[in-house]
Structure 1
Amino acid sequence: MVNLTSSERLSVSSLREQAHRMIRTAVVTGEIRPGRIYSALQLAAQLGVSVTPVREAMLELVREGLLEPVRNRGYRVVELADADIAEIYEIRELLEVPALIRVAGRVPAAEEPRLRALVATMQRAADDGDLPTFLEADRDFHLTLLALAGNRRLVEMVGLLRDQTRLYGAGQLAHGGGLRDSADQHAGLLDALLAGDGERARDLMHEHLVYTHDVLTPDS
């Protein structure tokens, strides 16, 4: 058995977390393309790190439903049918809308500047066509709000569901003003929550989910 010092264990863990974050972002933004097979060795070379943390990161992404293993070859992005995406959005509506109704009027004052900063980041990224920055701020915004409902498992479940669908239609959002429309929807949702208007927040979240679902599945 290999004995690692605490600093070495921390280093390996940190590399795995960084590799996981970078590969997940590449999957969600489409840089890692559906249909192509990627090996841990290939991605490790691109990231400039050893194979072990990259392989562990890819196995974690398999557990999260973003990648699937291809025997003796590597990994590829899991492709979803329109029916799969519809199921995920139905689950998201069942989970997120009631949670945000509970959050309405209960957003701590200390959280408001960070949430407004995330909206501003989305708006700037939308105007610049910066999809990775937009998606990261979008994810942080929604999961921060859900965390205020006080259910850690809810946050984890929604985070995984969001990641599984974000690689579909993310490119479409970046064209035709879709990113800016989405960013502005977040601004309205935050205003409703801060004002304690649960009904308005419910309606806006429903409309936001319908909008993004329609972008992801334009032919359904």
Structure 2
Amino acid sequence: MDNHLQQTNLRDQALAVLKTRLVSGDLAPGQIYSAASIAAELGVSNSPVREAMLTLVNQGLLETVRNRGFRVVPLTEKERQNVYDLRVLIEIPSMARLASMKEKVAARAAEFEKIAADMVACAEAGDIVGYLNCDRDFHIGLLEMLENDHLTAIVANLRDQARQYGLRALSDRGDLVKSAAEHKPILDALIDGDAERVTKLMTAHLSHLIGEWAG
């Protein structure tokens, strides 16, 4: 895969790459990383990568280490539980409400069916980054149909906070496909307008955040 970035919106692209690596655990807690080494890997100058890393410092995901670089801030079990609790409180009722808009979801069924299928393909190939990108497109894309920018921003931020270190181990033993396969039934329940089923499926799906996805 070509890791080099296009010469547009470099800071935003670098930020997206770093967030994915944080969530997947490719940037490990407690480890120190330099903007220069990551910039060289991505084929860009130091400036946009450093700006992206400083953004992550402001978001509490990284901390600066004088004359050395940036350290990944570990996520405690309590913090992970807090993120999970918030997503349960916010995301599950929102998805259940989306079930009352089944015609709107059905109109974009093919789009989300493809994302769900691509996610399974990424899981089968062991592509953690691809899996996470599809997972974000699926969940955030659906929530965007509620036309509440504050809601989607909050959920997107919570997703960034949850480091799913266990995904690599799940992939290595072939279990990531099972998690990927949970998305199509959620979409089917939304299209059927079955809020109760959506709630049940989303509750089971998010429970992975404090289970095997957590590592």
Q: Which letter maps to 1:72?
A: N
> Distance in 2 between the 1:217 and 1:126 partners?
17
Structure 2: which 5+ residue stretches go unaligned? 1-5
Aligned to 1:88: 83
TM-score by length of 1: 0.86
Q: Which has the larger radius of gyration?
A: 1
Q: CA offsets per residue over residues 10-45 of structure 1, 9 Å max, x none?
A: x98611112112222222333322222112222222
Aligned to 2:175: 178
Does 2:48 match 1:48? Answer: no
Aligned to 2:26: 31
Residues 208, 214 of structure 2: 8 Å contact kept: no
Residues 25, 164 of structure 2: 8 Å contact kept: yes
> Distance in 2 between the 1:45 and 1:172 partners?
28
**Aligned partner of 1:195 among 192, 207, 215:** 192
Structure 1 moving runs of 4+ over 4 Å = none
Structure 1: which 5+ residue stretches go unaligned? 1-10
Identity %: 44
CA RMSD of aligned residues (A): 1.9
Does 2:99 match 1:104? Answer: yes
> Distance in 1 between the 2:95 and 2:51 partners?
34
SS at match of 1:80: coil
Q: CA offsets per residue over residues 82-134 of structure 1, 9 Å max, x none?
A: 12111110000000011011100425244211111110011111111111111
Q: Which letter maps to 1:56?
A: E
Of residues 143-152 and 114-123 in structure 1, the stretch that sits farther from structure 2 once superposed is 143-152
Aligned to 1:216: 213
Residues 64, 160 of structure 1: 8 Å contact kept: no
Aligned to 1:146: 143
Distance 1:102 1:16, change over 3 A: same
Q: Which letter maps to 2:147?
A: G
